[in-house]
Structure 1
Amino acid sequence: TSRVGKVIKCKAAVLWETSKPFSIEEVEVAPPKAHEVRIKMVAAGICRSDDHAVNGTMYVPFPVILGHEAAGIVESIGEGVTTVKPGDKVIPLFTPQCGKCRVCKHPEGNFCLKSKLSQNQGSLQDGTTRFTCRGKPVNHFLGISTFSQYTVVDEMSVAKIDAASPLEKVCLIGCGFTTGYGSAVNKIQVTRGSTCAVFGLGGVGLSVIIGCKAAGASRIIAVDINKDKFAKAKEAGATECINPQDYKKPIQEVIAEMTDGGVDFSFEVIGRLDTMMAALLCCHEACGTSVVVGVPPYSQNLSMNPILLLLGRTWKGGVFGGYKSKDSVPKLVADFMAKKFSLDTLITNVLPFEKINEGFDLLRAGKSQMLLVLFF
């Protein structure tokens, strides 16, 4: 029997309060309103940003259903929806693309003014929620909440993708892969023959390396204090791997000596203030560019001497690899289908949805560089 227009009861991972495990609960998912889409999840990745929300370094209103990197199939649509239809394979977009705001109209900008990332109030665009659990409303996360068997998103927060694509792989295009890869090939356009340094070798860091390699960088120096991550980094395309703990002097000085004064491009993919500074300092003072990719802790500031920029360095940031989401996600999936890049290196653990807490334990223990939680 069709459930179109009706409430769906399904399982979701609900977080009731900060720093607690997820609770697998039965939730009620309301039908989509006008310009909304209800999606059946197939696969979702676990990303460090979800963990920031769990441990309180990123503000979220509770209770909440987290998750923002996934792929699924459209179950039903609200009135006025034109870009997807029931049965379409889709990727939900944590950075929406309304197409109307100043940023969407800007050729370079991609941080849509409708994004929930800057004001995470836990609702859809109309200010209300579609989830209920134990009679209480449950908040959305970044407008998509993918740790649920069904979710409702605004039409501006979903992209239709190739019907032949394997959802258990392309779900990584919903955040981690695209954020890293795009930082290198799109946001700053790494040049052929250049030198790069990548700080942090989780799934996003590996994706930066894949991007640097695809752009033709001649040297890609991978930096992490966990040497267990070096093999994967080499597999992704790193030419050398270094551990800051192996040196007496600051890592930026080590890298500057290795690269005739500093790299052309550096990437901070951890979200720590000290490594952001090291990444800035390890790129050449006259012609280097450093990119902040990792999400920094809320309400912490860096102080720096402006002379570090005066001589010609560039310091940049960018969400989701600088890509306009609704336009670019289908193209990236097409590139994946055309074998322009592989996602296999990034998938280290595949778990059933019920074992989501084990997945987060692996992430925190540094045992996993990118994980998949599978839905059924």
Structure 2
Amino acid sequence: MATAGKVIKCKAAVAWEPNKPLVIEEIEVAPPRANEVRIKIVATAVCHTDLHHLFENTNEECFPVVLGHEAAGIVESVGPGVTEYQPGDKVIPLFISQCRECHFCKSPKTNQCEKAWVGRNNVLSTPDARLTCKGKKLLQFTGTSTFSEYTVVNQMAVAKIDPAAPLDKVCLLGCGICTGYGAAVNTAKVEPGSTCAVFGLGAVGLAAVMGCKAAGAKRIIAVDINPEKSEKATVFGATDFVNPKDHSKPISQVLSEMTNGGVDFSLECVGNVEVMRSALESCVQGWGVSVIVGWTDKEDFSARPVQLIAGRTWKGSAFGGFKGRDAVPQMVKAYLDKKVMVDEFITHNMTLDKVNDAIELMKHGKCIRTVMTVSPQ
């Protein structure tokens, strides 16, 4: 492309400080360096993790930043050493990289990667920033920063996808859907004929419901304090809906009574430590498995040791246990083959300049996913 090797000036939504609206600014995006890919972002969605950073991260060293990590786009140019990707390729940036070389990547037991951004304050360090605005370096959220018309990502955090894929749909496979679906299929390893409970029916929770159904669960109990989520949960495979507010007893006791002692598998998709404990306590003793999927790093969680001694397993899941570069293209194919739902998660469509409206919808639980058009395909 004509822009290859040049600084690109484009629009991006900049978070200058915590707890303040994002500002649409003109930014400069430097050319990719060795092993990097510059991507024209076509579509991006708002995820609750973006809100977590904006509203709950009070560390001013984590600002200014360009948020966004659930997106799809087209490769504009590549840096030296990049052979897997070419300009024009359709891709999904990944917030958990897959270098394919570290001991994590070589193990089938995990999708963690030594070079992943998770755990590094979720940002690219300032000296390495490829994004600048008004002479200031902008941090990159999870190494991706997709609330921008262009971004630069390391090649180990890019998944090349089928050119037939509609980018304004499959962008959701960059985080929420894979996270919930994989938590059920890969992490919990839900078994055919089992009983499951999914706590929290945002995009991640609904994807977990879909994953439980795909794994063959015979009963899937969807749990949420918003009664309007009941109908949506049924679309993805839920057989029951329980609103904790409708009961005077703990939700774990309600579920235990519904299932003759507890569910086989529970998935917490809220990011609330009290709900995490409730999800664990909802599992049957002896073999129940509870998976923490919701993201938070602000509080400690707790449980009584006997709850695990009795045979329950408590585990966590990031990005659904998927190794991104390998698995995301497969999930895109599954969508194209109509084996997983994606369109059904999209409740709103906007443009990037309405990003604050999209954030408000997410903040107040008024949407499942809002997809923002960033650039024309």
Give TM class, smaller chain.
over 0.9
Query: 2:136, 2:296 → 1: CA distance?
Result: 32
Percent of matched pairs sharing the same residue: 53
TM-score, length-normalised on structure 1? 0.97
Matched, 1:87 2:73: no
Matched AA of 1:293: V
Contact 2:188–2:290 under 8 Å retained in 1 = no
Contact 1:52–1:58 under 8 Å retained in 2 = no
Cα–Cα, structure 1 residues 155 and 282, in superposed 2: closer, same or farther, change >3 Å? same
Bigger mean CA deviation after superposition, 94-103 or 261-270: 94-103
Query: 2:257, 2:209 → 1: CA distance?
Result: 21
Q: Residue 141 of structure 2 aligns with which residue?
A: 141
Instruction: Give the CA deviation at 1:127.
Output: 5.3
Query: 2:355, 2:260 → 1: CA distance?
Result: 45
Contact 1:58–1:297 under 8 Å retained in 2 = no
Deviation per residue, 1:3-35 (Å, 9 max, x gap): 100000000000000000000000000000010
Query: 1:209, 1:69 → 2: CA distance?
Result: 20
Local SS of the residue matching 1:17: coil
Query: 1:139, 1:241 → 2: CA distance?
Result: 41
Local SS of the residue matching 2:172: helix
Instruction: Give the CA deviation at 1:183.
Output: 0.6
Local SS of the residue matching 1:103: coil
Matched, 1:304 2:303: yes
Write out aligned runs for 1:100-139 (5 A): 100-120=101-121, 122-123=123-124, 128-139=128-139
Matched AA of 2:305: P
Instruction: Give the CA deviation at 1:173.
Output: 0.6
Bigger mean CA deviation after superposition, 159-168 or 339-348: 339-348
Bigger mean CA deviation after superposition, 357-366 or 184-193: 184-193
Write out aligned runs for 1:248-263 (5 A): 248-263=248-263
Query: 1:273, 1:363 → 2: CA distance?
Result: 20
Contact 1:11–1:148 under 8 Å retained in 2 = yes
Deviation per residue, 1:225-275 (Å, 9 max, x gap): 111111111111111111101001000000000001000000000000110
Q: How many residues in Structure 1 have an aligned counterpart in Structure 2?
A: 374
Contact 1:110–1:323 under 8 Å retained in 2 = yes
Contact 1:71–1:174 under 8 Å retained in 2 = yes
Deviation per residue, 1:169-204 (Å, 9 max, x gap): 100110000000001112222111110000000011
Query: 2:191, 2:117 → 1: CA distance?
Result: 33
Structure 1 gaps, min length 5:
none
Contact 1:57–1:297 under 8 Å retained in 2 = no
Local SS of the residue matching 1:82: coil
Structure 2 gaps, min length 5:
none
Contact 2:269–2:293 under 8 Å retained in 1 = yes
Matched, 1:174 2:174: yes
Instruction: Give the CA deviation at 1:285.
Output: 1.3
Contact 2:277–2:302 under 8 Å retained in 1 = no
Q: Residue 38 of structure 1 aligns with which residue?
A: 38
Instruction: Give the CA deviation at 1:341.
Output: 1.2
Deviation per residue, 1:105-127 (Å, 9 max, x gap): 11111111111110126327x95
Query: 1:313, 1:151 → 2: CA distance?
Result: 43
Query: 1:278, 1:286 → 2: CA distance?
Result: 17
Contact 1:45–1:371 under 8 Å retained in 2 = yes
Local SS of the residue matching 1:260: coil
Local SS of the residue matching 2:357: helix
Poorly superposed stretches of 4+, deviation over 3 Å: 57-60
Query: 2:243, 2:58 → 1: CA distance?
Result: 28
Query: 2:121, 2:77 → 1: CA distance?
Result: 26
Bigger mean CA deviation after superposition, 323-332 or 24-33: 323-332
Q: Residue 340 of structure 2 aligns with which residue?
A: 341
Cα–Cα, structure 1 residues 117 and 204, in superposed 2: closer, same or farther, change >3 Å? same
Query: 2:296, 2:130 → 1: CA distance?
Result: 30
Instruction: Give the CA deviation at 1:365.
Output: 1.3
TM-score, length-normalised on structure 2? 0.97
